[in-house]
Amino acid sequence: MKSIKTSIIIALLIVFNTNAQVQKEQKWVSIIRNNESSWFATNEAKAIAENVLLYQRNIGGWPKNIQMQNPLTADQKKQLIAQKSDTKEITTDNGATTQEMLFLSKIYAQIPDERYKNAFLSGLNYLLEAQYENGGWPQFYPLKKGYYTHITYNDDSMANILNILKQIIDKTGYYSITPDDATIKKTQIAFNKGIDCILKTQYKQNGVLTAWCAQHDEITLLPANARAFELASLSGQESAKIVLLLMSLKNPSTEVITAVNSAVVWFEKTKITGIKIESVIGEDGKPNRVVVKDSNAEPLWARFMELNDNTPFFCDRDGIKKATLAEIGYERRNGYAWYTNGPKEVLKKYEDWKKKIESETVASPKKNQVTLKDEFNIVVDQKGNGDFKTIQEAINAAKAYTSKRINIFIKDGTYYEKVKIHAWNPNISLIGESREKTIITYDDNFNKIALGRNSTFYTYTVLVEGDDFFCKNLTIKNTSGPIGQAVALNVNANRALFTNCAFLGHQDTLYTSGEASKNYFKDCYIEGTTDFIFGDATVLFENCVINSKSDSYITAASTPKDNTYGYVFKNCKLTADANATKVYLGRPWRPYAKTVFINCEMGKQILAEGWSVWSKSDTEMSSFYAEYKCTGEGFQPKTRVNWSHQLTDAEAKNYTIENILDSNVTSSTKQWYLKSM
């Protein structure tokens, strides 16, 4: 009898130890998602929760790739307590922070320990703090140098964050912890900005919306590289979770619906059939991933596809693209997910989603939607005698991705608002009643924005991201005053035309960006103090008045190395306030800056030397600064710095409007600068 009891005890111990070992060997994410809710009331769950609390840093986030369920020694616990204030390596990559928040929510539902609630709310605050002003999130926060600063969709990082925010603002009860009203309001704002960022970063391939990349540059929003084998490309994997998120939105906007429809078309276009991925044992006894033909296999999508034509490619750690999986080394071939079936879930749900959207649109038109008499001719009048009282309302109501021009007529008045022409709003025209009395004004500046070194780019009064933009007969002001960087107009679009407009500010009044962008300013007035015309776009200023308000620099070009033209001023007049007596024509913001003044009238405020190198002597050789047949007291070609140029007649002949603005454009956009005038 004794031996039977002993055997039973031994058997129970074996079962107990086996279960404990299985739990330990489970991956952390599996423990969170696979266990029944009742498990979160167990002592085992409580022990893991103590680890989760220990690993959380004071900033609110967690490091990645931690198996929280593994027991900690006394020394390890002391070390984690000592690291509480350390902000290095805190991230949302690989599910970090978002999965710990889910665990805390699940255990709090069973054990309402206030420490779990506070830790969850601290994690939420971390997510809100980490967001860029443009709506994206970096991979690490505080920022870690390198590609980690890019907006990261990689491994569904941003989709995971936005899904948490959505559950909270929708009050679904999925998370057992409810923030206060003020935090929910912040969460709503962050969520809206995140969706806006998703819409802005959807990649256009030859003018057609497709999908998303794993990383997008945090400033330009363009596709960006990460690790050597993670080159800028369209992603079959990350795009799927993004689309599923967009499909989950209630009352989706026209832009969201367009984004989903476009992505689904791209998924259908890029699916790969007739193959599957298998792991086989090679001659060396090691498992090896291979592509096998199988006519019955479910569709797959490549993780990396070329931006221009969707061709799948593969990379080893040398960063060299290969056409097939078999061409890359063993370690990367078997240590990375090169194919995905993620979009299958999108395609599975798409038809039902589409029917639902269509039925909702018929049954219940958008709340507060304005019925426009003419959707291509919209009137803004702050007195109420138009379609809208604000300019932004009119822009938001405009059709997305229309090929037909939408004219927004703005009645005289001072419109105190921050205006943004979205990337999905090409062919928009803003036409004021008069330049003197139709005024758009705002007062953001570098210190007010307070978003770090890139704050300048967010200070705009008007931001143009939609291509083929036209603006006429109005004034755009930044009224911050002489207190540092404060942009009036930020143009990050191609083929933008401004005629008979005024741009008023101090430092950094006008920012023109986009390496391939072409802009045209005609019969305009531009004033400022330091570097008040700056950027990397190719821009022609013709018949404009350029007024310096203090001793400083007019231009700060950052022309890309291979661009033929940068800033070109033709038949312009350079004037100055009475206190401005020492003004430079320009200095190079980047090494290959190009700025040329042709047939311009230069006032006496222009210094004899003309140009500055910005304390960067090497730019004397790399930059290109030139003049041709200018007039006025400020035109002193014989005393200019010896590294600047006076164009010959033959050289000057190249500076035609066609050469400057028509190069590298399609036949359909030739002479685009004449079509809207």
Domain locations in the chain? 21-201, 206-369, 376-528, 539-677
Question: Which phi and psi angles does 580 have, rounded to 5°?
Answer: -95, 105
Catalytic residue check, 86: no
Task: Give start and end residues of each alpha helix (H) in 170-295.
Answer: 181-201, 238-247, 254-270
Fold topology of 539-677: Pectate Lyase C-like (2.160.20)
**Spatial distance between the Cα atoms of 105 and 172, rounded to a whole number of angstroms:** 13
The rounded distance, in Å, linking the Cα atoms of 42 and 458 is 49
Q: Which residues contact 216 (CB under 8 A, 6 or more apart)?
A: 136, 150, 151, 153, 201, 222, 223, 224
126 CA to centre of own chain: 20
CA distance 639 to 19: 86
How confident is the model at residue 451, as a pLDDT? 79
The reported pLDDT for the residue numbered 670 is 81
Cβ atoms of residues 385 and 411 within 8 Å: yes
Q: What pLDDT, on the 0 to 100 scale, is given for residue 665?
A: 62
Local structure of 659: helix, strand or coil:
helix
What DSSP element (H or E) covers 50? Answer: helix 43-55
pLDDT attached to residue 374: 84
Q: Is residue 170 annotated as a catalytic residue, yes or no? A: no
Structure tokens belonging to residue 549: 């308000």
At residue 138, the pLDDT reads 96
> For the whole model, what pTM was predicted?
0.58
Q: 42-81 burial string, b = 16+ CB within 10 Å, else e?
A: eebbeebbebbbbbbbebbbbbbebebbeebeeeeeeebe
Give me the architecture of the 376-528 domain, per CATH.
Answer: 3 Solenoid (2.160)
Task: Return averaged pLDDT per consecutive 10 residues of the chain, 677 residues in all.
Answer: 42 39 65 92 96 98 96 96 96 96 97 97 97 94 94 95 96 94 93 94 91 94 93 94 96 90 96 94 87 94 95 95 94 93 96 88 52 85 90 91 93 94 94 96 90 89 96 96 95 96 98 94 97 97 98 96 96 97 96 97 97 83 96 97 96 96 73 73
- Identical fold at 376-528 and 539-677? yes
pLDDT at res. 6:
41
pLDDT given at position 86: 96
Q: Are 62 and 88 in contact (CB under 8 A)?
A: no
pLDDT (0 to 100) of residue 2: 43
- 155, 217, 316, 508: which one is catalytic? 508
β-sheet with 525-528: strand ranges across: 413-416, 438-442, 475-478, 502-504, 525-528, 545-548, 573-576, 601-602
Q: Which CATH architecture has domain 206-369?
A: Alpha/alpha barrel (1.50)
For residue 69, give the nearest of 89, 44, 35, 91 by alpha carbon: 44
Contact 108, 78 (CB under 8 A): no
Rounded Cα distance, 507 and 485, in Å = 5
- What is the per-residue burial (b if ≥16 Cβ within 10 Å, else e) of 475-485? bbbbbbeeebb
Confidence at residue 251, expressed as pLDDT on a 0 to 100 scale: 87
* Residue 647 contacts residue 627 (beta carbons within 8 Å): yes
For residues 593 and 537, give the distance between their C-alpha atoms in angstroms, rounded to a whole number.
Answer: 11
Residue 542 is which amino acid?
A: E
CATH 1.50.10.20 fits domain 21-201: yes
Q: From the candidates 196, 531, 536, 551, which is the catalytic residue?
A: 531
- Cα–Cα distance measured from residue 509 to residue 517, given in angstroms and rounded to the nearest whole number: 19
